[in-house]
Amino acid sequence: MTQERQNLIVANWKMNGAFEMANSLLEEVLNGTRQFKSPSIVICPPFVYLQHVAQLIESNSSVSLGAQNCSEHSAGAYTGEVSSNMLKDVGCQYVICGHSERRQYNGETDEDVAQKAISIIDRQLTPIVCVGETLNERQSGKTDLVIERQIDSILEHCEKQLVDRITIAYEPIWAIGTGRSATPEQAQEVHHLIRNRIATLSQSAADGCRILYGGSVTGENAAEVLGQIDVDGCLVGGASLKAAQFIEICRAAQR
Ligand code: PEP
């Protein structure tokens, strides 16, 4: 049985920003989305701006705070790392984990990503677990295999009752920051695959799980991809730094 899933739009600022930018961008975004009853919005600034952004969005119930990464460890001698406890302390409700840029530049493995997701869930936060294939993998017909491997790694580590606490973001690597978004049909096909995979562990978790699409989403193409049955929101990089674009994406995500 399918159920109504509220769209979620996540802004991944990556390593961009400054106090001034956070102030002006957020002011515009908060003003521009105030009249929308949905979607839920999550802002993920760099770590050092989390607390500042938390204060700016404090009174806005439809906007939450998220982080772009966290350590899989809870505390200790891990210089430069930030734990999910600390993220909860500063007001985060969501944490992106396993973004392809972290897999690529920081060598994060499926196992690392699963451990991070567990530590995030343990703190009662919501992990936004990113999965996605390279262009080479897609062109050689390996998309399904890669996605299934990435999803299975999460499912293997999660107790059945925890699976419904996870949000997934399908982000084909060839679409991130390239201006070449997946077609709505390509996105739907992979989202359906992900939902079916989760259903092997729990049908109710599969029905309730939000699966976001990410990869060159803009104000112009958001509505089409959001119109797909298994697309429950977007993870937005570049366009989240442009207030007008981001507001358009949120407008398209209203249900
Ligand atoms: C991302 O980095 O998560 C992303 C989707 O980036 P962009 O929207 O710029 O493709």
CATH number, domain containing residue 89: 3.20.20.70
Q: Choosing from 108, 137, 171, 248, which is the catalytic residue?
A: 171
Q: Is 99 a catalytic residue?
A: yes
Q: What's the mean pLDDT in 27-38?
A: 93
Distance 77 CA to ligand 1 centre (A): 32
Report the domain count for the chain: 1
Tell me the mean pLDDT in the region 72-96: 97
Contact by Cβ (8 Å): 253, 224: no
Among protein residues, the one with the nearest Cα to ligand 1's atom 1 is 237
118 lines ligand 1 (CB under 6 A): no
Instruction: Determine which one of 99, 108, 137, 191 is catalytic.
Output: 99
pLDDT, position 211: 98
Q: What residue owns the CA closest to ligand 1's atom 3? A: 237
Position 129 pLDDT exceeds 60: yes
Which 8-state DSSP code applies to residue 53?
H
| Distance (Å, whole) CA 89 – CA 24 | 25
Give the residue whose CA is nearest to atom 4 of ligand 1: 237
Q: Return mean pLDDT, the chain.
A: 95
Residue 157 lies in a domain: yes
The torsion angles phi and psi of 172, rounded to 5 degrees, stand at -60, 130
Q: What is the mean pLDDT of residues 158-172?
A: 87
The pLDDT assigned to 4 comes to 81
- Ligand 1 atom at shortest distance from the alpha carbon of 217: 8
Q: From residue 4, give the alpha-carbon distance in Å to each of 106, 169, 229, 230, 255.
A: 36, 18, 10, 11, 10
Distance CA 232, CA 74 (A): 30
Q: Which of 132, 128, 145, 122 is nearest to 101 (CA)?
A: 132
Residue nearest to atom 7 of ligand 1 (CA): 237
In a domain, 123, yes or no: yes
- Asked, for residue 89, whether it belongs to a domain, the answer is yes
Report pLDDT for 1: 42
| Res 3 pLDDT > 80 | no
Instruction: Report the share of the chain in percent with pLDDT over 90.
Output: 90
- Residue 1 resides in a domain: no
Note the pLDDT of residue 255: 82
| Position 43 in a domain | yes
Q: Decide if 44 contacts 12 (C-beta within 8 A).
A: yes
| Per-residue model confidence (pLDDT) at position 161 | 64
Please report the atom of ligand 1 found closest to the CA of residue 236: 8
Residue 177 Cβ inside 6 Å of ligand 1? The answer reads yes
The reply to whether 183 falls in a domain is yes
Rounded CA separation 132/145 (Å): 11
Q: Quote the CA–CA distance of 92 and 43 in Å, as a whole number.
A: 10
Angle of helix 50-57 relative to helix 19-33, nearest 10 degrees? 30
Atom of ligand 1 minimally distant from the CA of 169: 3
Q: Which domain holds residue 134?
A: 8-73+80-252
Question: Does 214 sit in the ligand 1 pocket, CB within 6 Å?
Answer: yes
